[in-house]
Amino acid sequence: MSIYDKIELINKNLDGLSLLKAFEYIIKEVDGEIAFSTSFGQEDQVLTDTIFSNDLNVEIFTLDTGRLFPETYEVFHKTLNKYKKSIKSYTPDTLQLEQFITEKGPNSFYNSFEDRKECCRVRKIEPLKRALRGKRMWVTGLRAGQSENRSATPLLEWDSNFEILKFNPLINWSLEAVEAYLDEHKVPQNSLHKKGFVSIGCQPCTRAIEPGEDLRAGRWWWESSKKECGLHATNKN
């Protein structure tokens, strides 16, 4: 059976399962280490609570770009205190970052789309590659409702950019369902969510959105791209 046939079969078996049951099924089916990347947003906090509260065999890590909001570090701290478990932090390579800032300055991402993508590569893509090294599956907090670019994303897929299985257990969840889960389970949340920040990334690249705006409008608001840093880019991006 090819990897794509296996993925198709697993997706059929995942259909209709609860979040916890889906995780339990995936863990049994996947031969190898599983890792979940959290940015401490609302969706990611749902998954963190599920993994930690049920002692699931999934490693949790985060990408600390060095440009995050203080509020993001605060929810990171509160999450560690609540669950008493560790979250592995990956940071940009020191030499790469030093060279990049020396050559282009600290805010070159405002200059052009190419410079912004280069900043994302140094601060996020390269650390992600290190975090996923040796892993069989990458768990994400993607939701179809976050952007048009994510609307057709399946529960399980093959990520050809990072050559890894990618599990998106919340892909069919609504924002309302996410918020209800967080309130019911008393999960720490980023205080910026109540100030109009829906999708929260690096501080200089994120703003609050206005009523009626797309959920990703606050990310890299000065450009008209697909609002992706490259972590979840498709082959078409």
Residues 6+ apart with CB under 8 A from 183: none
Provide the pairing of β-strand 59-63 with 164-167: unpaired
Residues 6+ apart with CB under 8 A from 184: none
Question: What's the burial of 84, exposed, middle or buried (CB within 10 Å: 0-12/13-18/19+)?
Answer: exposed
Which of 119, 120, 205, 229 is the catalytic position?
229
Tell me how many degrees the CA angle 59-153-31 measures, rounded to the nearest 5: 35
Q: Is 229 a catalytic residue?
A: yes
The residues assigned a catalytic role are 229
